Chain A
Amino acid sequence: MTADILLDMRQITKAFPGVKALDRVDLKVRRGEIHAICGENGAGKSTLMKVLSGVYPAGSFDGEIVYDGQPAHFRHIADSEHRGIIIIHQELALVPQLSIAENIFLGNERGRRGVVDWRETNHRTEQLLAKVGLKEPPTRLVDRIGVGKQQLVEIAKALSKDVKLLILDEPTAALQETDSRKLLDLMLELKAQGVTCILISHKLGEVRYVADTVTVIRDGTTVSTLDAKAGISENEIVRDMVGRDMTHRFPQHERRPGAVLMEVEDWTVWHPERAERKVIKGANFNVRAGEVVGIAGLMGSGRTELAMSIFGRSWGRDISGTVKLKGQPVDVSTVQRAIAAGISYVTEDRKSLGLVLDETIRFNTTLANLEGVSSRGVLKRNEETRVAERYREALATRTPTVFQKVVNLSGGNQQKVVLAKWLFTAPEVLILDEPTRGIDVGAKYEIYTIVNELAAQGKGVVMISSEMPELLGMCDRIYVMSEGALVGELTAAEASQERIMSLIVND
């Protein structure tokens, strides 16, 4: 451990009114290593990175930072970027209406005297894109490519600067297994080129795959620093993160699926803007009462589009096919009708599609079923509070009151509020789209427990997920989706990551 220390953060303490986000945190990053920071949501990882990058200027926290042999006093992000510290945030910071090349060189334009040299810009972009393994023309607009590819653009952007310390805040949260693997390999490659990386991640598999050192943070303090090269188990990390041994990542369950609850037949959907593109190609699937059915597939395979088109035609055009509940065809042509028919859809992106962030837990809980807390159009406030409290207790949402704004909650608790909203519509079938994305291990376990309870109550659950272990650990059956078609169906006993992957690849 006498190796060259690139970054040394000592006794960092950062307090906000009423809460100490960081309490004497230590972090030592050696030059040329990949250093993973693990911790539950709200543990203080992001705050620590904001302290490092100058979002919280020097002086607004206690403790000292030594970077590259000199004490660092960053007053602004520009200061840290200048010294080669580049942070890629969970929420991507790209301008959707600009091209890939324009985004990569935004604020760092190639050219002279204010005139952009497009040839060099695009040429350099091509090189950077090749480095990150993204096959898109540099002139493509960012809003025309998926989230996964946008992530790669962000990394290309970081590479375009003279990066010494690259910080990736949950870079694979929105990525597919294959894309994630590619990204991780990219990190290893960068490491070989001498770039030091800090990786913040919930996915322990990938931490184990790339990290040299793991620092675990819990409740704003450093719990442990582990040498990953010596070999550590995921359980070790998990135990330090949550402060308890977690022998099972998935709660025990025993399911006895009943009769078929929902059937979707010949479901076909066309792209809303590009009329010639058939996005869903005659999909057939069903869910039984008390069953959890998974839909696996790569990003862009049409999983979300399938779910949203079923849920009140919220996506796509010229939709054809039938949805049957308990054998009877039902009208799902609007969201209201889909809800009335007993279908709920928990969206993939809870912040932009699931919640009214500036409103309270109570407001969000009852939003999809205001009829249930009103009479003749007048809200019954007390009843509403009771309902919100009931779900807060049932789902163990951690919040002082249901009058807390949801924007102040952690990802896991926000997801519980979204679940509460849909449970209050008393659905027969729940479609969960990436229900545990960006949620820490402890909260994931709780979400899984809720899913199991729903199945035990006889509801049908459709679970869309990019994390294969999650599908394997939770589902009774898994449909595999590839390029808009369901290409295979596996029972829990048959399913494995390899078989799912081979179905996707061999399509």
Chain B
Amino acid sequence: MALAEGVNKAGGTGSAKGIGAYLASHLREYGLLLALIVVMIFFQIVTDGTLLKAVNVTNLLLQNSYIVIMALGMLIVIVAGHIDLSVGSVMGFIGALAAVMMVNHGYSMPVTIVVCLVVGGVIGAAQGYWVAYWKIPSFIVTLAGMLVFRGLSLWLLEGQSVGPFPREFQVIANGFVPDVFPAGFGAALAGFFEVRQVNVLALAAGVVTAAAIVWMGLTQRARNRAYGIDDEPFAFFVARNAIVAAALVFITYKLSTFRGLPNVLITMGVLTVIYAFITANTVIGRRIYALGGNQKAAKLSGINTERLTFLAFTNMGVLAAAAGLVFAARLNTATPKAGFALELDVIAAVFIGGASMSGGVGTIIGAVVGAFLMGVLNNGMSIMGIGIDYQQMIKGLVLLAAVIFDVYNKNKG
């Protein structure tokens, strides 16, 4: 649903005449999706099909899960007109905290998770307090936070790696949702597709989600028509939905032939849907866009801009903590280096996804697609054996290109 929402929201703005004009005014949304597809096809070819092997698709999702989770919070912070440079450090710190609590002190997993999320929220709130109520630039506050929490993780871990985690904790990141369908189903489908095994739940989830996206797109379209809103041309609607649905089914099919749905995918998916809904359809979401678009006007419209800023950072803290837990569980150990420079990947994902540095612009779906675009680049280049030096350069240029594209589009339009 989320992608449909995102594009349709933007789709209501123009007075498009014909397909050409429509495409010109929505180049960004389609461009991003198209870029992801092109990059995937490119790597699929140059890696001789390794990119889309079931095991690699699974890997890709696991590898990028914590980036995606943080990108959700970062999108909100950036739309509100701020930035958070501390998320990588906070993520590392929370991982360290979880390790120390569970491994060194034997706290149970639920207690640890709750404490970690609360601590993340408190960290976010503490930074948000200075930004919101003291008007200290977020760049400065979170730059300070980045150093402080990097130091705190070192201190907490005493410079050592701490692990391994209990089995039930590792499952957060590395576990899979068991198939609920009878084994016979899977075996039958496996025979049909001529693969070793099929996780029916994963495939069914993909098909149902794809159907839901199409259905929601159709109802939105019907509603738009009822209000006489300029909608995207039908051919585009069909093409876009076909691609999104096919991609979903394809990916879940790949997952189903490996070990099924990763737990982390569920977490990520649910969070994405929730945040896409909040930003696009709720009062608080609307107010965040107003705050970022014109803070003075928002304030004079009765919006409590300070509290909203404070909440955006608090939320970022909680999500950074969640990402920290996933990251620690995935590595099965907490290291002082965890999360190092990761904030830059997160911020890059949000900007590639179309957010504006000056605030007020950006979508959750854009940020998620941006994160995966970066993820596929990372993954594809690693498979090809391209050195980290070139990887960094290429990623940097992709970020620059995406933003140049935005600015060019804006100036033209």
Q: Counting CB contacts under 8 A, is B104 at the interface?
A: no
Most buried by A among B17, B286, B290, B300: B300
Contact between B302 and A382, CB atoms less than 8 A apart: no
Residues of B within 8 A of A368 (CB): 301-302
Contact between A400 and B15, CB atoms less than 8 A apart: yes
B406 to chain A, nearest CB (A): 13
- For this complex, 6 residue pairs linking A to B, each with C-beta atoms less than 8 Å apart, are A347-B300, A352-B294, A359-B290, A367-B303, A381-B223, A405-B13
Most buried by A among B223, B283, B284, B303: B283
B174 to chain A, nearest CB (A): 36
Within the complex, which residue of B283, B294, B298, B299 is in contact with A374, where a contact is CB–CB below 8 Å? B283
Q: Counting CB contacts under 8 A, is A501 at the interface?
A: no
Most buried by B among A314, A335, A336, A367: A367
A59 to chain B, nearest CB (A): 18
Interface string of B292-336 (1 = CB under 8 A from A): 011011111111100000000000000000000000000000000
Residues of B within 8 A of A370 (CB): 283, 286-287
Q: Counting CB contacts under 8 A, is B281 at the interface?
A: yes
Residue of A nearest to B223 (CB): A382
Contact between A353 and B230, CB atoms less than 8 A apart: no
Given contacts A312-B302, A360-B13, A377-B283, contact A403 B297 (CB under 8 A): no
Within the complex, which residue of A339, A352, A354, A358 is in contact with B302, where a contact is CB–CB below 8 Å? A339
Q: Counting CB contacts under 8 A, is A493 at the interface?
A: no
Contact between A404 and B294, CB atoms less than 8 A apart: no
Residues of A within 8 A of B297 (CB): 347, 352-356, 367
Q: Which of A373-429 contact B (CB under 8 A)?
A: 374, 377-379, 381-382, 385, 400-401, 403-405, 421, 425
Apart from A354-B300, A356-B360, A358-B361, 16 more pairs, CB < 8 Å: A18-B17, A314-B300, A335-B300, A345-B300, A356-B298, A359-B360, A363-B286, A363-B289, A367-B298, A367-B303, A368-B302, A370-B287, A374-B282, A378-B281, A379-B281, A385-B229
Interface size in chain B (residues, C-beta < 8 A)? 31
Given contacts A358-B360, A377-B282, A377-B283, contact A401 B298 (CB under 8 A): no
Given contacts A353-B296, A371-B283, A403-B12, contact A385 B301 (CB under 8 A): no
Chain A residues touching B, range: 35 or more
Contact between B289 and A359, CB atoms less than 8 A apart: yes
Q: Counting CB contacts under 8 A, is B227 at the interface?
A: yes
Contact between A359 and B302, CB atoms less than 8 A apart: no
Cα of A284 to Cα of B408 in the assembled complex, Å: 53
Q: Counting CB contacts under 8 A, is B385 at the interface?
A: no
B7 to chain A, nearest CB (A): 14
Cα of A370 to Cα of B304 in the assembled complex, Å: 13
Q: Which of A325-378 contact B (CB under 8 A)?
A: 334-336, 338-339, 345, 347, 352-360, 363, 367-368, 370-371, 374, 377-378
Q: Which residues of A come within 8 Å of B, CB atoms? A: 18, 311-312, 314, 334-336, 338-339, 345, 347, 352-360, 363, 367-368, 370-371, 374, 377-379, 381-382, 385, 400-401, 403-405, 421, 425
Cα of A352 to Cα of B289 in the assembled complex, Å: 16
Q: Counting CB contacts under 8 A, is B387 at the interface?
A: no
Q: Counting CB contacts under 8 A, is B228 at the interface?
A: yes
Q: Which of B210-232 contact A (CB under 8 A)?
A: 223, 227-230
Q: Which residues of B come within 8 Å of A, CB atoms? A: 12-15, 17, 223, 227-230, 281-284, 286-287, 289-290, 293-294, 296-304, 360-361
Residues of A within 8 A of B303 (CB): 335, 367
Residues of B within 8 A of A353 (CB): 296-297, 300
Residue of B nearest to A403 (CB): B12
Contact between B282 and A355, CB atoms less than 8 A apart: no
Given contacts A354-B297, A356-B293, contact A336 B304 (CB under 8 A): yes
Contact between A335 and B299, CB atoms less than 8 A apart: yes
Contact between A357 and B294, CB atoms less than 8 A apart: yes
Cα of A431 to Cα of B298 in the assembled complex, Å: 18
Cα of A506 to Cα of B12 in the assembled complex, Å: 57
Contact between A352 and B361, CB atoms less than 8 A apart: no
Residues of A within 8 A of B14 (CB): 403
Contact between B301 and A421, CB atoms less than 8 A apart: yes
Cα of A404 to Cα of B230 in the assembled complex, Å: 11
Contact between B286 and A385, CB atoms less than 8 A apart: no
Residues of B within 8 A of A359 (CB): 289-290, 293, 360
B289 to chain A, nearest CB (A): 7
Residues of B within 8 A of A400 (CB): 15
Cα of A58 to Cα of B289 in the assembled complex, Å: 39
Residues of B within 8 A of A360 (CB): 12-13
Residues of B within 8 A of A404 (CB): 13, 15
Given contacts A335-B299, A335-B302, contact A367 B283 (CB under 8 A): no
Cα of A426 to Cα of B214 in the assembled complex, Å: 40
Residues of A within 8 A of B301 (CB): 335, 367-368, 421
Residues of A within 8 A of B15 (CB): 400-401, 404
Most buried by A among B230, B282, B293, B294: B294
Residues of B within 8 A of A336 (CB): 302, 304
Residues of B within 8 A of A357 (CB): 293-294
A24 to chain B, nearest CB (A): 25
Residues of A within 8 A of B300 (CB): 311-312, 314, 335, 345, 347, 353-354
Given contacts A352-B294, A358-B293, A403-B229, contact A379 B282 (CB under 8 A): yes
Contact between B283 and A385, CB atoms less than 8 A apart: no
Cα of A314 to Cα of B298 in the assembled complex, Å: 12
Residues of A within 8 A of B223 (CB): 381-382
